Amino acid sequence: MAQLLKIITYQIKQLLKNKKTIISTVAVPIILTMLFSGAAKGEQITTLYVIDDAHSRYSKDLLRIFHSDESMEIIESTRDQVNGMMKKQKSIMALVILKDFGKRVMANKGLALELIRNYDSAENMLAKHKITNKVSIYQDMLSDSQYAMTTLKKYKVVDRKDKLFHSTLNEIMNIWDEPSKHLYDSKPVAEEGEKMHWTTYTSIGFLVFFLWFAVIQGIRTFIEEKENKIYKRLLSTPVSYSKFIIGKLIAIFIYGGIQILVLVLAGKFIFHISWFENIISLSIVMTTYLFTVTCMGTLFVPFVKNQRQLNTITSLIIVISSMIGGAFFPLEIGPKVIQNIAKITPQRWTMMSIIDVISNNGTLTSQLKNIYVLVAMGFVALCIALIFINKQIRAERGV
């Protein structure tokens, strides 16, 4: 144990010696978050055409939620007007509130809605995502109202059901002064009233993205030892190489943990991100992700011969997997194929969990599936890496 602690301590000191790398892996994500946050202020408004065939109090309530979003321009229109614009090849998205919308709400049979678009575009995909978000909010409000009505019915105080139900719904809508509790339409920041949804997303995304580079910095020491022939000398010493690998991986894990801590604190105090409201759940998710990234980084050790090769391969893999995994943009606005491919990346499962915990107050129990997937990915990667490392050791020793 004492020998293992010495290895861990030595490796951490070696990693902390490279001040330029430490500063870049911490400062760059913070600077990029600032830049992207500034760009978000000039974010293009999403235009949504709404065809209200119902003309009921309930359809007006739904429209009220859409109008509350400053990032959306709601234009009430008719089918003929929308069809005319589509014939002119204009890329538009229209939400149709069908005639039986109110009746279905009262009967608790779901929402009678229809989406119309002439073709898929980036703007339409984003509009669809926002529509889904708003409709989800309205459904939550209806569920709360229904629960209140059930309670009133239980104690036999219900008189005029429709009027009382709508009054209850209105009270709930008034309580939700800022209707959305979701990531993309979250609370305003400080006194400026700026929406922090994009700041939150980019901060999470850059943390997930740049953690790979911190881990790869640790993995680089394995490759340096190969290049400097230290690897062969280590094999000739009485120190178990397995113990040496474990010590290095623990040191890399601690080094990555330091980066997470610094970026989380920066997010909290610079960008006002609510990291600490569900700190236990977030800590477990991020620790699991760090474990997975560390284990997956170990896969490069037996296959990469020099640092140049490591830089090329890892940069390519990290950028592509982060793009596909949703670290740079919400996966919901991407095509279905990309969403399916994303399932093989640890970034996707981590982003899903962190977003859910921060924006929807997701519990640790609700994140267990994502955590199990990340652990499985890390465990499989580590096993594969150790098998090939062990083969190399045998070959070097002539066993």
Burial group, residue 5, by CB count within 10 angstroms (0-12, 13-18, 19+)? exposed
The model's pTM: 0.66
Residue type, 71: S
Q: How far apart are CA 124 and CA 91, in angstroms?
A: 8
Host H or E run for residue 359: helix 346-360
Cα 239 to Cα 141, 146, 250, distances in angstroms: 63, 67, 17
pLDDT of res. 290: 97
Q: What is the mean pLDDT of residues 378-399?
A: 85
Residue 130: name the closest of 47, 219, 187 by CA: 47
Three-class DSSP category at 176: coil
Q: How far apart are CA 266 and CA 261, in angstroms?
A: 9
pLDDT of res. 14: 82
- Which residues, in sequence order, are CB contacts of 250 under 8 Å at separation 6+? 4, 8
pLDDT in tens, 320-366: 999 999 998 888 777 889 889 999 999 999 999 998 888 777 888 98
Percentage helix, strand, coil for the chain under 3-state DSSP, each rounded to 5: 70, 5, 25
Compute φ and ψ for 48, nearest 5 degrees: -130, 125
Establish how many alpha carbons lie within 13 A of residue 251's alpha carbon, considering only the half-sphere containing its beta carbon.
Answer: 26
pLDDT in tens, 266-286: 888 888 787 888 899 999 999
- Which residues, in sequence order, are CB contacts of 241 under 8 Å at separation 6+? 234, 235, 393
Q: Quote the tokens at residue 288.
A: 């699991």
- Domains delineated in the chain: 2-39+196-397 (no CATH), 44-180 (3.40.1710)
Q: Quote the tokens at residue 274.
A: 């609510």
Three-class DSSP category at 69: coil
Is the pLDDT at 139 greater than 70? The verdict is yes
pLDDT in tens, 17-39: 878 888 888 888 888 888 876 55
Q: What is the mean pLDDT of residues 139-143?
A: 80
Is 196 in contact with 187 (CB distance < 8 Å)?
yes
Angle of the 161-175 helix axis to the 122-154 helix axis, nearest 10: 120
Residue 53: name the closest of 77, 69, 72 by CA: 77
pLDDT of res. 122: 58
Is the pLDDT at 44 greater than 70? The verdict is no
Residue 200: name the closest of 281, 127, 275 by CA: 275
**Taking all residues of the chain, what is their mean pLDDT, rounded to a whole number?**
80
Three-class DSSP category at 53: coil
